[in-house]
Amino acid sequence: MNDLLQDADDAVRLVRGMLRRGEEGEAFRERKRVASWTANEAGLVSASLTEESGTAVRLRRGTGHLLVARAGDSPDALRSAVRDAARRTGTSPFLKSHRAERAARADAALSPDDESFAALLQAALAKALADPRGIALSITVSRIATGRVVVTPRSAVWCGALSRLEATGTIRRVEAERSFCFQSTRPTAPALETFSALLQEALRPVPAAPPPGGETDVVLSPAAAVVFWHETVGHPLEAEAGERLSVLSRVRSAAVAPPDVDVMDDPLREDLPGSYLFDDEGTEARRVPLISSGVVGDLLSDRRTAGPRSNGHARTPDFRRPPRARMANVVVAPGNRPEEELVAICGEGLYVREIAFGSADPESGRFALFVERADVIRRGRLGGPVGRFVLTGDVIRALSQIDGSPGDTVTSSAGLSLCVKGGDPLPVGGAAPALLVRSLLARPARR
């Protein structure tokens, strides 16, 4: 995909020439390849391949912006987009967008490497589905490879190439239905091994007691803690929420959590799905402290929200959409207590193993976590499983109710789905230790 830089010098001159006094902007090129397989309880059913490329020119003047997109990533596509952008800024209202038609090839043939992967995937599915009786499985597994380049008035920047394995679908039994999500940037063999293990765990029938209700103390497993931090800290500290709107941006530099809590967003973690070298505006990716020793840190910003002080978190799902300040990988530092100690200290409560998805309102600070699997905690020991339920709370109060130090072992989460905000889906990652939070509100799930 490095041929996206083949005309770098000419592209820089074009971008420099299109900008007028008071304007900022860049060109953006993207190439994406998605090989997908659908599967059911009997194994692989069908395969497809989509290849797509596109070019966008983006201009900003004050609070206004213009985006012109073209199919293809050739020099001609860039020249066409630049000409159209110049015409529109000269004769049309500035705040206007022109989008390209979908430039995708769905007729390409799978490669021999894809066929080899399919055989490994079939084996991973067979291992997870050793006994498929009573199971209806509908799942799509995709190998996604993306390459991106940003052309600024000064240089052409290679944002990086990301390859990831993604799986989404549903598992149905007579008595229940549940969702399944998986992402990994690891090499094929270990990624499929983890995929098979997680799918096998999700397929296992779990007799469950009625879900709880009312306030309860909760120990979040590392995988569940990643979602908690994503919703309660990540979203409220995305700069687009605004200094005036976000509950955490209003209390920056204030202590909101125990001093042992350190949370950062790290786009440089290559082992996590949200990684990149430069963001989608060409700014170098940076680690951003969100909470340091319990104190609220920086906002995640892009050029629209911070100008030249952007900390490299402009992200877009594809070339047709303008970038926004978004999370990449939320990473939490380990504490000094084993997970078993957190359960013992909890006393009476719940151990949350898996959160299917979450949501948060940065302005009000309210959040909801939809729990897929959990066990009861009685007298400091794990008991039997409970049915699905929803944990809700207020961001500021929940952070203040964290009981001391987190767990001592950080684990990456492979069960995250895409993060969707404002209709824009993006791959995100996370790694965290277990966590004890007091007095969250539990209520039955309505799904």
CA triplet 236, 241, 244: central angle to 5 degrees? 100
Distance (Å, rounded) from C-alpha 10 to C-alpha 56? 16
Predicted pLDDT at 87? 85
How many CA within 13 A on the CB side of residue 221? 17
Using 50, 70 and 90 to split pLDDT, how confident is the model at 415? confident
- Other Cβ atoms less than 10 A from the Cβ of 237: the count is 27
Q: Max CA-CA distance within the chain?
A: 72
Signed CA dihedral, 271, 277, 279, 285: sign only: positive
- pLDDT, tens digit (0-9, with 9 covering 90-100), for 378-411: 999 999 999 899 999 999 999 999 999 999 999 9
Distance (Å, rounded) from C-alpha 31 to C-alpha 163? 12
- pLDDT of 90 higher than 80: no
Predicted pLDDT at 447? 54
Contacts for 313 with CB less than 8 Å, ≥ 6 apart: 238, 239, 265, 267, 279, 285, 288, 300, 301, 302, 325, 326, 327, 328
For 160, list phi and psi in degrees, rounded to 5: 120, 160
What is the DSSP-derived secondary structure letter of residue 251? G
Using 50, 70 and 90 to split pLDDT, how confident is the model at 61? confident
Predicted pLDDT at 98? 45
- Provide the mean pLDDT of the chain: 91
Poorest-confidence range of 184-193, 238-247, 344-353? Answer: 238-247
Predicted pLDDT at 314? 97
Query: 99 or 26: whose pLDDT is higher?
Result: 26
Domains of the chain: 2-203 (3.30.2290.10), 214-444 (no CATH)
Distance (Å, rounded) from C-alpha 86 to C-alpha 23? 12
| Percent of the residues in the chain that have a pLDDT greater than 70, as a whole number | 94
Predicted pLDDT at 91? 41
- pLDDT of 2 higher than 80: no
- pLDDT, tens digit (0-9, with 9 covering 90-100), for 170-222: 999 877 889 999 999 999 999 999 999 999 999 988 877 888 889 999 999 99
Which pair of structure tokens corresponds to residue 120?
Answer: 């490994």
Q: Say if residue 308 is exposed, middle or buried (CB neighbours under 10 Å; 0-12, 13-18, 19+).
A: exposed
Contacts for 2 with CB less than 8 Å, ≥ 6 apart: 147, 158
Give the residues across from 444 on adjacent strands. Answer: 389
Which pair of structure tokens corresponds to residue 383?
Answer: 């008991």
Predicted pLDDT at 352? 97
- pLDDT, tens digit (0-9, with 9 covering 90-100), for 12-47: 999 998 888 778 899 999 999 999 999 999 999 999
Distance (Å, rounded) from C-alpha 131 to C-alpha 252? 53
pTM: 0.92
Distance (Å, rounded) from C-alpha 223 to C-alpha 439? 20
Which pair of structure tokens corresponds to residue 367?
Answer: 């959040």
For range 59-75, the mean pLDDT: 90
What is the DSSP-derived secondary structure letter of residue 72? S
Q: What is the bridge-based pairing of β-strands 429-432 and 329-332?
A: parallel
Distance (Å, rounded) from C-alpha 360 to C-alpha 228? 10
Using 50, 70 and 90 to split pLDDT, how confident is the model at 244? low
Distance (Å, rounded) from C-alpha 304 to C-alpha 63? 8
What does each C-alpha distance from 174 to 136, 283, 351 come to in angstroms?
9, 51, 26
For range 358-376, the mean pLDDT: 94
Using 50, 70 and 90 to split pLDDT, how confident is the model at 92? very low
| Percent of the residues in the chain that have a pLDDT greater than 90, as a whole number | 79
- pLDDT, tens digit (0-9, with 9 covering 90-100), for 287-305: 999 999 999 999 999 998 9
DSSP 271-333: TSTT--SB-TTSPBP--EEEEETTEE-PPB--HHHHGGG--S-EE-SSTTS--EE---EEEE-
Query: 4 or 336: whose pLDDT is higher?
Result: 336
- pLDDT, tens digit (0-9, with 9 covering 90-100), for 115-134: 999 999 999 999 999 888 89
Question: What torsion do the CA atoms of 114, 117, 121, 127 make, to the nearest 10 degrees?
Answer: 160
Give the residues across from 39 on adjacent strands. Answer: 44, 139
Distance (Å, rounded) from C-alpha 160 to C-alpha 125? 31
What does each C-alpha distance from 422 to 13, 306, 314, 336, 419 come to in angstroms?
34, 20, 14, 38, 10
For 98-146, where are the alpha helices, taking DSSP H only? 112-128
Residue 117's nearest CA partner among 171, 169, 49 is: 49
